[in-house]
Every structure is written in structure tokens, then in C-alpha cells.
A and B are shown apart, each in its own frame.
Chain A
Amino acid sequence: MTTDQELPMDAQSATAMFAAKGIDVTPSKDQGVIKVVKHPGLDGERPMVGDRVTVHYTGKLLTGKKFDCSRDRKEPFSFNLGKGQVLKAWDIGVMSMQKGEVCTLLCKPEYAYGPSGSPNKIPPRSPVLFQMELLKFEGEMLTDDGGITRRIKVKGDGYTNPNDGASVDVHLEGSCGGRLFDCRDVSFVVSEAEDKGVPLGVDRAMDKMQRGECCLLYLKPKYGFGSEGKPEYKIGPHKDIVYEVTLKDFKRAKESWEMDLNEKLDLAHGVKHKGNQYFKAGLYFQAVIQYQRIVCWLEMECGSGIEQQKKIQEVLLTSHLNLALCFLRIKEFSQVVENCNKVIEIEESNEKALYRRGEARLLRNEFTLALADFQQVLQVNPTNRAARAQISICQSRIKEHHEQDKKTYANMFQKFAERDAEFGKPKRRRDDNKRSSMNGEVGIKRRRRSQDCPS
């Protein structure tokens, strides 16, 4: 039997033919999905639930009519396995495949397009054939920066996940380079996992987990123990770690839309306090989460009456200011500017916002803009000595910059020749600094100033 034959078949003979050559991969063994392997995979590796898998496929009716094909689109197809995103036959079938394997799946309608079929493409109650090739698979990336990767060992139930503020009961097994360093049952509040010594990555993964789920979380240092490591677990700086997490139970916190304004304002107070605590402990990422919760709650609120409106703006303003400060510490300067802008939108001459924006711009080498900010600070408060100091820094930087330009352009050809000679010599020290301290090494401050605490 060839799997890509064009001869029309009826469902019965197709099932008989596949059953003779292939294997029934359904858990209930009802011959709903029968697989015939054409080329076995390269190594024994199989994908896990939740993995991002990439396949090429061709879907055909038993008449041989092709109804969908990724190759026609010249683009392989990716999805998260075992999450109900695709036809049942696919979740089951692909789970049984190995990397590189090519196979054909014969699928009963109950595992494919059901009694109704698909408009214009698949008639009601049609068995279908899929020729599949599993190109690759990888753990699911939970953040855009790729710092948290998840692979699910046991799938959980239900459709809800713990949100920020939810209380969760989990079992944790943390390991580093194959050595188990942490194994315990623990309960914590999502967004405050730090209080129980649970790393940021586990905390951030919570809102993607379901009740009963057991998964492996691969954490980059930013989401693990950062550049300082964790001496009590004997973990050095900049280590990748793995946590096996079982979510035993949880209770969700109220969502923004479930709360009225007064409730939000009450909660915001406590959350801000928590954020300040984290900030003081140098846990800037954790602090950011707290302040952002407040922004999220109140951003779209306008309140009734001037009194309430003022109150909301006040809270939002402090949150943005605090966020700016945190981002200044984690050196996310564009976020600093963004938050300061939000403050300045509310209050045009906010001294701290202007100052912090100035700092961020200075560190981004936008000297002229920074200079303007610090000058504005002085207009608001002529006694701000820190701003004065910053202005002279800006001015000398601008001068430096000009001189450098002048030099560069003055004897350009000689310069080019020199540069060719010293190619590769480091010349952008500031940027290098920035890069080396990306992973949570945030304790170093060059200048202390009165503005530098969350309010």
C-alpha cells in the first residue's frame, strides 16, 4: 500500500488497509486515528504536551481530493501540542511521532471534522487522511525574551489559570546542572513568590498553568537567581536552572473588571507597599510587577467627581514614577522615558519625572534632550543641586561629543587608516557597561540622590 495514492477509497476498506499496516494511536483503541509510518524519525525524541511543534502536512479526503496543504503555502505549520488547538487526531497523532518522522494518519470524523464537516471543503461525516512530517519541536516560550521555557509532563484540567494575586499550592523541585537543590510543597501568592524564596520565573509561569498540571520550567538567570546566585542553594551567578512545578490547587484573585473603584484603590495601597518593599530589597523586577498591577487596574478608570479623579491620578502618578525608577535600575531606558511621559501627561512640571527622564536620556546618550529635562527641573525647583550637577555632566558630554566629531571629521582619512589598524579595539565603553549588567546586577549605583526612593 502506498500512503499517497490517489485512488478513491471507502471508509471501510481504508480502515482495513491502514489497520493491517499501521498502528492505532488513540488511547481508547477505537481505530479513530491509525498511523502508518513512512519514514521513521531520526532519534527517539518525542514532543511533550504544550511543545511548539512544526510540521508539514497535506490533508486529503478519501476521494484523493486535497483540501489543505502547508507546502502549497510554502510555510510549515506550527502549533502547541496537546492543548486542543488543532483537530483531536492531530493532538493524538503528532504526540506519537518522532522528530523527522513522516507518516500518514487515517482519521475518523469524530477525531477530525465531525458530523458537520467544514464549509466548502469537507463534507459532513468525512474520514480524512493527513500526511505529516514532524520537522521540529521545542518547549513553549512563555515570555518574549525566551527567558522561561515550559514543557508539560502532565496536562492540567479546566480553563482557568492563577492570575496575579491568586494564592497557589505547588510542589517544587528545583535543579541546576542535574543537581536537585530545592524540593518542597509551598503556598504563595502569585506576584509575591519571592517572599517564599521562589524565583521570578516560576511566579511568572503561574498564569499559564492549569490545576493539576506538572511541568518543567527552564529558567534563564534573569528569571532564576540572577547575577548574584543563591548561596544557600549553592548556586553561582548567571546559572540556568530548571524547576519542576506541580500546581496542586489555587484560588484566583478578583480581576480588574470584577472590582469596583474603591476596592481597587484600597488594594492599590497594599500593592504599592509591597512594591516598595521589593524595591528596597533590590528586587526590581518583582517591584515592577506590583506597580504594574496598579496601573492595570486604574489606567482606564476615570472616577466620578473631581475628588475621586484626583485620587486616581495621584495613585497612577506615583506608580509610574516608581516604575520609572525601577526601569532605571534595570536599565530599560525606553520604559523609563515612557513612564515619565505618562506622569508628565498628568502633571506637566513633575520634578521627579523630569529628573528621571533626564537620567534615562543621558544614559541613552541623548544629551541635548537630557539637558532640556534637567533645565526644566531647575525651573520647577531652582534649589535642586543634583540637577545642576547633571546639567554640567550633560554639557561636558555634549562638548566631548562635538570634539570627537571634530576630530573624526578633521582628518578623516588618517582616522580611517587608524581605525583599520586598530579594528576591534573596544571603543564604546558605556554600552558595554550596559550589557554586562543586564541580568539583574542592579545594585551598583554611581550617584546617590535624594530622589532615589519609591514614593
Chain B
Amino acid sequence: MALEQLSDVVQRCQVLSDDGYAAEDHDVFTIAGRTCIEEGNSVQVLSIVLDEQNQDIVRSMGWNLLPPLIQVLLKKEDKNLPQCLAIFNHLLETCRPKELLIGLLEQLEQDDPDPIAESLHLLLNPLQKVLLRLGSRKASSLGMTLSSVLDQVAKLPLPHTKEQEEDDVFSLCRSCTELTAFVRPFVHEVRLNLFNSSANGVFLFCSCMQTLTRPLLEAQLKDPDTLPVSPLRNFATEILNTLSAIGQSLSSLVFQPLLKRKQAPGFLEEEVRYPKESLANLAHLVFVHHLAADTFPSVFSPVFCLRCNMEHISQLSSVFEGVFPIAQELYEKSLVRVVDGSLPADLLQIKTFLTVPQNLVKVMTMCQRHDLRTKGLKVLQLSIDKFDTGAKYYFFQYMLKTSRHSGVEGYIIKNIRNQIDVALQPGNSNTWFQGVHLLPLLRKVLILPDGPETDLLQYLDRVMESLNLLRYLVIRDKVTENQTGIWTELYKVEDTFMKPLRVGLNMSRAHYERELHDTVETKKSKAKEESILSVAVGDEKLPNMTSDSHVQALHSALHTFDMIESVLVRIEELVEVKENL
């Protein structure tokens, strides 16, 4: 039935010229042709399509047959596969490229990972052929194709581990490799300045930028030691090569946040063309993975790179948590190249030099992943080491003011002690960590945040480090020399720190001893009731606390108070002895 209709319409049209086909002819050809292929009559369709007399018809209407053909080709096991492939290839050579392109792109749209990868695999090569046939008229078509292809690639799930990348279950790696092959001839045309290369260049540039965000931003690239052959790393390298080949200087892109000229504020076009995340990822690929090492000039100063990367890091750490490891790596690598103790305090005038460490701290205190927390601490210390003494001083002040976390504050206080120790070494004296400047910093350290009511357990880290610092000062600094100024400040410290601490200790101890007493009493009376306390961490409810463990916790709290007190007493003794000398 369909076959007869098809032969009829083809015969009718054979005598007409190219533009003489009626709309009805188109419809009949399309419907009948499609049905024939769907019903398995592709042998006959093939002979019609190949018939010398029908070439005009095929040229103008043939592309309508693409949907069922591609369905068969995607299925692979169909018995008509060879015929369909032959029809498909003939259409690609005969039909008009513009129409073919539309037909092919329609078939590219898929939603599930498997068909996405399969249709990319099948269609990228034909798309490339068709685009090449367009010659100099391809610019907008190339743009359209790239955008559809990238939308598809973006839907594929990313491999995370080395094994996943090797197995490539969802074919992202294969698709990326094929994408590289797909753009190669167009990049070549732009490089040789063939055809309409400026427009093509823009489309290629935009698609490179797009891939830098998706899929490459979240693809955690493996270094060559972990994975010697990595398709994703190759893909990233190819993207950078493409950028260079189409005349985009990688260094201007990487340093764009610092080098861009003044432009009208309030217009977002710039951000569309140079997405900030893409630029940041580019910096990450260059500085962390050392991709494009041969083409990237190595004469930029480490401080300049750091300054610029701070903008990228800040951008990355504001995106979402998944990208944070990248931000951290980029921060680390940018810092490593800088000479220790060389970053001046002026740099802290730049917003990102304060916000980036702050984000780092946020991750350190909140993040679920242990490795990120440890790495975070390492990078924080690295960044402190790179500051000169003045910058360290201001940085500590800033962190004490803003971090609001006992552990972090304790860590900073420990750093302050180290710096004082360095300053007191012969020949190392500086104006920041001794004498006049040191006192305001000490005043920020040697206090109890909430006076005697301070929760000593919550602030344990901070309190202990403060005590250690104070003990260090009274041991290390002689009353007669008073290099740190502690001996003239001591009466104030007693008021702001030691006395309230003692009161706090007494109050807390009384409270906990009472609590302990009560718990033990209740335990005796209600021996049967197992659990009495519910504990929750975050949103997760932990198993109810048994009264035994409650007692244990109370005991350990009391021990903690003992520990604090012993250091406090020791300090008081030292002060007494030294002052009496």
C-alpha cells in the first residue's frame, strides 16, 4: 500500500521540474516513504532512491526519510540495517545540506544517557560532512549544531573515579573524543582563515567556553600518574589547543579578571561570552593540571598569577560545594609558587584575599568530607606562611574577628604564638609581634568571649590556646625586658581573662558536679530505664544516650575543667615568682 503510493508519487514527480512538486506530493512522499522503511521495505526504497531518474526528487524531498532511517540505524540489530545505511549515505550526498542539517539535528535530541551517546556516535560524523558541504555558508549552522551537540553532551553523567572513567559506562568520554574529531576540520578552516572564519571562530570559541563549564568543571581530572591515558584530560587539552588555534590567547583569558579594560557596567553580555566559571576552570587546567604548558608563557610573576587566581577561586567557591576541591587545588598551587613571607599587607585590601580564606574556613568547619577538611587546614597554613609579618598580623586580627569558631580561633592563636616566638629569636625582631603592635592583638586573644558565662566546653580549643600563649609569654619574656609588653599589660589580662576564667571554672564545675550527682541518683532510683537523653547531630538523630555514657561525659567535662585550671594555676604561680624576683 505505502509502497504503491510511494512509486506513484515518484512517477508523477519524475516528469516535473525541481520546483514543480506540490505540497501534497511532499506529504505523500514523506508519509509513504517513512511507512515503507518502518515496515521493512527498505530494499525497494533503496532502489527508488538510487534510481538515476529520481535524483531531483531525492534532492528536494529525500531528507524527510531521515527519522525512520536513523531509528533503524540506532537499533543496530534490524535486518534491514545495510539497506538503510545505504539510503542514509546516499541522502547525505544528494540532499541539500541545510535541510539535511535540520533533519539530523532533530534526531539528535534525546533524553536518556544511552540514546544520547548512541545518537551522538551515529550522527556527529554525518553532521560534520553536511556542514563541510555548506562551505562558506555554514556559520550559523555550525553555531546551531555545536549548541545542540553540547546540550546533549551536558546531559551525560560524569565519571568520578578512575575506574568509572576507564569503564565509561555512559560514554561521556567517547562522546568527548568524538566531539574533538567533529570540530577539528572547522578549527582548521578558522586557523587557515578560510571561508567566514571570524563568525565560525566565535561559535567555536563560545562552545569551547561552554565545555569548560559543562562537562569539564565538575569532571575531576586525574593526573597522569593516577590514570596514564585519560580521555577527559585529552579532551580538556584539545579544548585548550582549539582555543589557541582559533587565535584566543590562553593567557589573556586566564588573566581576564585583572586585565580587562573598563566597560559599561550593568550590562551582562560580557559574562555570556566569557562565563566566569569557564575562565576559572581554564585557570585550573593551566595552573593545576599544567595543560597547554608548551603554549602558556612561563614568565608571569607568581604574585600576579595568585592575584588573578584569587578572583577565579572566589568565583569557584561561590558556585556550589561540588566545585570546592577545584578551588582549593587552584589556591594551593597558586600559593606554592610564591616565596614564603613575601605577600605584603597591601594585598589584604583586595576583597578576595579575605573572602577566599574565609570560605576555606567555612569548608573546614562544615564540610562532610574529611580529606577536604584536612587539605583546607593545610592550605590555610600555607596562605598564612606566604604573608609577610605585617600581613600576618592583619590577617590574624581579621580571622579572630570573623571566624566565630573555637577551633579556628585556637588555630590562629597558635599561629600568633609561633610568630611571637619567631620575633623573639635574636636578629628576627619586627614591629608586629612584639611591643606596641602586639598588645592590641593580645587583647583580642586574652579575653573570654562571653565573660564568666562563656561555655568553656564549646570554647575549649580557644581557651586552651589562649592559656598556652599566656604561659609561653610569662615564661619566655623577662619582666625586666618586657619585649612583648605582657608584664605591663598583665593587670588588665587578669581582669579580662584570668579572673573571669576562674569564676567561669568554678561555676561550670559546680554545675556539672551537681548534674553528675543528680544523674547518679536517678540512675539508682530508675535502674531499669535505659536511655534518658536524646542526642542529635545536625539533622541526624543519634541513638539515645544511656545514663552510663551520660555519666562518662560529665566526668570528662570535669576533667577538662581540671586541665584548664591546672594551666591557669601554673600561670599564676609563674607570674608570682617572676614578679617577686
Contacts and interface: CB of A to CB of B under 8 A. Distances in A.
A142 B259 CA distance: 10
A181 interface: no
Interface size classification for chain A: 35 or more
A229 to B, nearest CB: 25
A26 to B, nearest CB: 16
A348 interface: no
A213 interface: no
Interface stretch (B5-13, B346-354, B444-452, B491-499): B346-354
Given A122-B298, A208-B262, A84 B303 contact: yes
Contact of A141 (B261, B300, B303, B350): B261
Contacts of A293: 265
A158 B346 contact: yes
Interface stretch (A110-118, A262-270, A412-420): A110-118
Given A115-B339, A159-B346, A77 B293 contact: no
A158 B345 CA distance: 9
A143 interface: yes
Given A67-B298, A88-B301, A143 B346 contact: no
Interface in A75-90: 75, 77, 80, 84-88, 90
A221 to B, nearest CB: 18
Given A120-B293, A158-B349, A114 B302 contact: yes
Given A159-B346, A207-B262, A296-B265, A77 B297 contact: yes
Contacts of B339: 114-116
A116 B305 CA distance: 15
B299 A86 contact: yes
Nearest to A90: B299
A84 B346 contact: no
Nearest to B355: A257
B267 interface: yes
Contacts of B398: none
Interface string B251-264: 00001000101111
A208 B338 CA distance: 25
A434 interface: no
Main secondary structure of the interface of B (DSSP, over half): loop
A118 to B, nearest CB: 6
A86 B337 contact: no
A288 B262 CA distance: 14
Interface residues of B, number: 34
Contacts of B336: 116
Contacts of A57: 299
A296 B266 contact: yes
Contacts of A255: 351
B251 to A, nearest CB: 9
B476 interface: no
Contact of B346 (A72, A87, A157, A296): A157
A291 to B, nearest CB: 9
Contacts of B351: 255, 257
B304 A73 contact: no
Contacts of B559: none
B301 A144 contact: no
B44 interface: no
B31 to A, nearest CB: 38
A84 B304 contact: yes
Contacts of B264: 288, 292
A145 to B, nearest CB: 10
Contacts of A120: 290, 293
A207 B297 CA distance: 28
A73 B298 CA distance: 12
Contact of B298 (A85, A118, A143, A159): A118
Interface string A226-262: 0000000000000000000000000000010100000
Interface in A94-140: 114-116, 118-122, 130
Contact of A59 (B295, B298, B300): B298
B301 A86 contact: yes
Interface of A: 57, 59, 67-68, 70, 72-73, 75, 77, 80, 84-88, 90, 114-116, 118-122, 130, 141-144, 157-160, 204, 207-208, 255, 257, 288, 292-293, 295-296, 299, 338
23 contacts: A59-B299, A68-B297, A70-B297, A77-B297, A77-B299, A85-B300, A86-B299, A86-B301, A87-B299, A114-B338, A116-B337, A116-B339, A118-B337, A120-B290, A120-B293, A121-B293, A122-B298, A141-B261, A142-B262, A143-B261, A157-B346, A159-B350, A296-B266
